Each structure stands twice: as C-alpha cells, then as structure tokens.
Structure 1
Amino acid sequence: MSLSGVVPAALQVGAVPASTVLQAVRVNAPVTRDQLAAATALSPATINRQVTLLVSRGLILERPDLVDPGGIGRPKNPLTLDHDKLCVAGMHIGARRTLLAIADLGGRTLYSHAVLTQKDGTSPDDLCAQLRDLAARFSGRRLLWAGIASGGVVDADTGIVDHPVLGWRRTPIGPMLADALGVPVSVCEHVQAMAAAELLLTSPREFDGTGLFFYARETVGMAMTIDGKVHMPRHGAGSIAHLPVRAPVLAPTAAATVQDIVGRAAACRAAERLGVAEDASAITDERAQVLGTTVAMLRDVLNPDAIVVAGDAFAEHPHGLAPVQAAFDAASTTRRPLELSPTRFGVRVQESAAIVVALSVIYADPAAATGGG
C-alpha cells in the first residue's frame, strides 16, 4: 500500500490459487473441498492449503452445521464466506448524485443511500465524512477496504480525480477517503467498474473472449473486457462522448455528439422546443436510434464476443431494448448476429460499481489484501 493509502483496483478475475478458491466459495457455497476441486481443477492438496489460508484470514468459514448427513469426516465440512464479520465501503460519484454503500464480502449490499453531488455545500470532504459515518453504523464488522468509482478522469495509482462536470480539478479523493476510514482505498473510472461487476459479482460465466460495456445516463462511456480482465489503459480511460451523431430532434446542430443526446436536460430541451412530453416517441425513438447506431459502429471496429448495456438512456424506451437492438442490427456491417444484453444489476449498476472496486483487490489476491503474501 502506498503512503497515501491508495491501491490500484484489480478489475479482473484472479489467477492465484487463493483467488480461485475464494471466488469458487462465493459462487458455490455451501461447498465442500471435494466440490471445490471439481469446480476449480486445482489439486486436493492445493485446495486444502488455500482453504487453511482463507480460514486463517477470516474470509471463509467451515460450517459443520451444514454437513451432509451422508458425509463422513472433516473434509466434508461445507465452506462459506464469512458474511457476518467483514464489510467493504463503496462510493459511486456521478454527475448528479453520489451513491454510498456498505457491502459484505460476497458483494451483498447491507445498506446504501444517495446524496446530491452538486448540492450546495457538498464537497469531497463531505462525501468522505458521510461514508465514514455510514461505515460507523457497522462497527460490529471489520471494514477491509473501500472503493470509489467516479466519472471524469481518474488516476488509479494516486486516487486523484478530475471531474469537469463537478468542477473538480486534481482532487485527491482517494487519499482523503483513506484518511477518513483508516483502510486502503481503490479508485477507478466508473464505467470500467461497472464492467468489472459483470465479471466478478454475478453467477459463473465464460471469461474467455472479449466484451464491450456501454453506459448512458447523464454521461456516456464504454469499457472493454479481455479474457476476464477489464482493459485499463495506462493513461486513463478513453471517451466516446465526442463521437459525432445525427440527431435533429435531440441535438439539431451539425456538431452534435453522442453526449448531447443523453441526460434529462437534452430531453427537456427537445420537449420544450417541440411542445411535447419528455417521453414522447419522437425523443425516445431518436435516442434509441442514435445509441444503437453508435454501439454498432464500435462493434464493427472491435468485433467483441458480447455487449452489455446499462443506464437510463438504454432502459427508458417504452419498448425496452428492442428499438436499440433494431438500430444496432440495421447499422452493423458485421454479419454475425449479436444480441445486446442488459446489465444484470439493473438500477443497482452504480451501487455494484462502487462495491466491486473495493472487493476487486481482495478477490485478486486475498493473502496480500489481508496482510500477508
């Protein structure tokens, strides 16, 4: 851990044996050692060593009370995560609101609430203090880690964030939260964190191959996953906000971008100009058309194996994703059919992003994250 208390997030499926076993326990619990060996392809000896390590660090528990009546001896004792003694804290910093959450080791939210990010008097110090106060309500648990998922430009090594929408310039939110909570903190770009949640906090899935994750609400963003790892460019995440679009209803200018067609303000302006409701078909249909076409363009460039979409701009059409899918199908020049998948977290996508940043380092290397090699 650096002197600032900031540790870069590890947005990937862990490869070390302890990580493999911890993830398998999370997904399959209650699970025996024999079942872990079958699920992970690790040897029984390796499984035993990792279970001993994870039990000693307080991450998993042996549960003799759950023993199968047909089983005999200690190796048949089921294993589960310790859901009761540990927790992590998370913060998702958005353009309009910030979500604060406390979760257990399995990623289950224990409590969360949102505050207005741009409310007068709400500063980075205020946000850190509010998360500290929230964590204090769970004083019976050991707080292991904290995570921040933020829009804007994020320096994962230092925890410094530039967020032009909020007027943040070189704001050391990571070190500030580490100081407030007294635990290590990881900070990363919020769409990358959302993509990581799809990999790390859901049921088992095939990790091989490539995927794209698109988010569109008040802002737009994209992240890429490769073989179970979120691509995190050394010099920060790229942007799709500036991509040119044709949107005569939502953004009737020659220089319109995809950022101009998302968010409530864009719909309000169009509704006022046209004398219609914000959810009028002229507005929702065009937004779906632009989003589907934009996703198709990037699909044709990168040709991923899967695409996940999230955010109100994708979800609010009266016909769901169908109009976006239709626009995507019409615009893509790649012959292979590809169905757009909605995020598995629904309206909780920001919450999952905050939580996974905190959990990612623990799951990537449980021994190192909990105090040893």
Structure 2
Amino acid sequence: MSTLAVSARTPVFRRPTMPTARCLHHMMHSQLTIRGELVAATGLSQPTVTRAVTSLVGAGLIHERPDLVRATGPGRPRIPLEMTPTPWLHIGAAIGADGGTLGVFDTRGRVLRETTFPPYTDTTGTADTAEHLIAGIHRLLSRLAVPVADIGVAVTTPDTGFLGGRLTEEFGCPVTVGDLTASLAAAELLTTGATTDPILIIYLDRGLTLAVADDDGVTAHPVDTDLGPEILARRLIDAGFLPDQKPRGFTGLLPGETPQTPQLRSLLDDRARDLGETVARLTRDTGAGTVVLAGPGFTVDPGGYRELALAVNPNVDKRVAIRIVPDAATLARAVARTVALDRLLSDPVAVHAELIDRNQL
C-alpha cells in the first residue's frame, strides 16, 4: 500500500465551478457531446472549454470518437466526445439511525455494486461502524481490478474524525465524511439548474435537521424540536400502544394492525399537524422555492400525509414545490452517490493526479 499521507476531509457540496468539473458534470448526463454544446451548456468560452476537454482527455475521463463524425457541410468536422469506461471507482455510504446503503459508483455516478448497512447508533459506536464499513467495502471490491479513487461517508451523527481516519488508514485514499442532510441537499442541487430560490431539505431521523442549498453551496444545522422518535415512542407508550422500552429509531414504532384504532389515528394526526406546522415555518424562514421532506420521520405514518398537507399548504406560497421522498433506498443511494463523487465534481484532474501519486494508475 502507498505510504502517501491522505487526510480525511469535509465535502465541498456546491455546484461544479472549475471548467473541467463543469464540462464533466454536463457529460455525465449525455452519451455524446461536442465542444460547441459544452460551450452552450456551461457558459464558458470556446478556448476555456478546449483547455478543459484537453485536461479531461489527459486524465482519462473522456475521449474523442472520430469514428462517429458526420459530415455537416464545409469546415472542420466536429468530433464527438464521450466519457470513457470508468478508469477508477468511487465508494459512497449513507448511514442513518435505521440503517443505510454502501455502494460502488463509476465516474458517471452509476451504481455498480450496492449493499445495505446496519444502523449508525450510539450503541454501535463509531469504531464498530468503521469496521463494518471496512468489511463491507472489501466485500464489494471483490474481483474488481479498477483502483478506488476515494471514499465518501454521510452520517446523521457528527464524526470526530475517527471514522475518516480509520478508513484512510485501511485504504490509503482520500476520505470524505459529511452530514447526511447536507449530502441530500447537494444531491438536489446537482440535479437542478441555477436558481434564485434556496432549496430546503428537512430530514427527520433521530432528530430534525435541515439543509439549505443555493448557488453558493450547502449549509446544514439541527433544529430544536420534539418531533423525533423518542417523543413519538413516549406518546405511544403512554397510550398503551407500545411496551415501556426505548426504541432507537422510527422503524418498528407503529403497530402493524389494520385498520388503526381511532385513538391511535388521533394521536398520529396530532403529530402530523405538528410536523406540518414546523415544515411551514421552516419554509417561510428560509425563503425556499423547493422543499424536500425526507427520512423515516416522514414515512413512518403514510396515513398522516393528509393532515401534514392541510397544515402546510395554506401557510406557504403556492409557488413553492414541496415533495416527500418515501423510498428510503432511493434516498440513501442519492446521498451515497453525492458524497462519493464530491471530489470528482470539485476537481476531476486532481483526482487523477492523486491516483498517480499513489501509483494506482
């Protein structure tokens, strides 16, 4: 293993700004393109795009396809460009209180291999989580001969540096450790065009955290609220729906009986209204134009969506687009992909140079 010292780092989480990154980001979403299309898509000058393309070709990320040139009239033929088969891999993990996802991604952001992951809780501890991650990464990389460029991990619990340091020690590559809510906001930011209205992510897991994304990047912080799983569990215990024990997360809190009793339905509707009022307040306070509600706190009770909507809709501007992400697997994959590709979408040529320094290319 290389002896190159590589430190764990926090993610950048903003739209690509370097010309190479902006061109590569556009090419991730298209099969073939030409330099003129990159000029139009990125707003960069023709010489700047030409230099960026040359750098990306040199880094092995894209190549020319002269075999696909079509005659369009007089003048120099326009040679199509496409991304190369991935020259290296990116590892990404998203870990919440109810479990998460660990995946291997190519340079286009496509998932190559994926597995689920145990919850990241106070009882498992950061050290145990790191060892589970290490074992999982080794399993996913079995019989894959392509080098690993970097590892990204998004967690709901603040990391002291041990997690990133342990992964760096094991794999000898750069490690990004970021906040899960911020990672989800970054995923949303990278799939939207420039906007003057912030994007608000409200994530409810152990507690409620929010992240605001705009053209300047992503900021995230927790919100002081009683909407977490412990308060819901206490209300269910007091009402006789749960035994007197402390659950760790939202999963398993609600009984599986159908239909729900009027008493339980009333308790859950009260909670949904409280949640809706909080969403409406945070939307107004941040001036968001897009709001994404995610995490098990929003999906634990699908029957409460109507009450949540009744609390939100009259109290926010009708132009605000609000949606819930009900599929935990889709959410976890988006987070893992974003934190895994953070370095690539910041400075793709530097990723290539670092791999050369490690004698991986």
Cα separation, partners in 2 of 1:14 and 1:335, compared to 1, 3 Å? closer
Matched, 1:127 2:114: no
Is 2:96 the counterpart of 1:94?
yes
Partner AA of 2:269 in structure 1: D
Is 1:264 the counterpart of 2:251 in the alignment?
A: yes
- The equivalent residue for 2:157 is 152
**Conservation of the 8 A alpha-carbon contact between 1:218 and 1:264:** no
Farther off after superposition, 312-321 or 13-22: 312-321
Q: Which runs of 5+ in 1 are unaligned?
A: 161-171, 232-236, 254-259
Match in the other structure for 2:197 = 209
Which of the residues 219, 222, 229 maps onto 1:239? 222
Q: Pick from 343, 351, 354: which aligns with 2:333?
A: 351
Say which is worse superposed, 317-326 or 99-108, in terms of deviation: 317-326
1:194 to 184, 194, 200: 184
User: Would you say the 8 A contact 2:288–2:320 is kept in 1?
Assistant: no
Q: Could you tell me whether the CA contact under 8 Å between 1:295 and 1:328 is conserved in 2?
A: yes
Q: What is the deviation of 1:186?
A: 0.5
Aligned to 1:54: 56
- Whether contact under 8 Å (1:215, 1:310) holds in the other structure is yes
Report the alpha carbon displacement of residue 113 of structure 1 after superposing the two structures with TM. Answer: 0.8
1:307 aligns with 2:288: no
Inter-partner Cα distance in structure 2 for 1:98 and 1:238: 21
- TM-score scaled to structure 1, two decimals? 0.77
Unaligned runs of 5+ in 2: 237-246, 355-361
Structure 2 residue aligned with 1:166: none
Q: Give secondary structure in 1 for the equivalent of 2:26.
A: helix
Q: 2:357 corresponds to which residue?
A: none
SS at match of 1:123: helix
Amino acid of the residue matched to residue 154 of structure 2? Answer: A
3-state SS of 1:28 partner: coil
Aligned length: 336
**SS of residue matched to 1:222:** strand
Seq. identity, %: 25
CA contact (8 A) 1:33 1:75 kept: no
Give the letter for the 1:216 counterpart.
L
Residue 174 of structure 1: aligned partner? 164
Question: Match of 1:214, as an amino acid?
Answer: I
Q: Is the 8 A contact 1:345 1:352 kept in 2?
A: no
Which residue identity does 1:363 align to in structure 2? L
What is the TM-score of this pair, normalised by structure 2?
Answer: 0.79
Q: Quick check: 1:147–1:357 contact (8 Å CA) kept in 2?
A: yes
Counterpart CA distance in 1 for 2:70 and 2:19 is 26
Report the equivalent of 2:106.
104
**Residue matched to 1:234:** none
Contact conserved, 2:6 with 2:173, CA < 8 A, in 1? Answer: no
In structure 1, distance between residues paired with 2:54 and 2:165: 33
1:363 partnered with 2:345: yes
CA 1:215/1:148 → structure 2, altered by over 3 Å: closer, same or farther?
A: same
Instruction: Give me the CA root mean square deviation.
Output: 3.7
Report the counterpart of residue 256 of structure 1 in structure 2: none
Distance between the aligned counterparts of 2:215 and 2:88, measured in 1?
Answer: 29
Which aligned pairs between 1:54-73 and structure 2 lie closer than 5 A? Answer: 54-68=56-70, 70=72
Alpha-carbon distance in 2 for matches of 1:105, 1:140: 15
The offset of 1:363, in angstroms, is: 0.7
Code of the aligned partner of 2:213: T
CA contact (8 A) 1:32 1:75 kept: no
Work out the CA distance in 2 between the residues paired with 1:10 and 1:178. 18
Deviation at 1:176, TM superposition (A): 0.9
Specify the SS of the correspondent of 1:11. Answer: coil
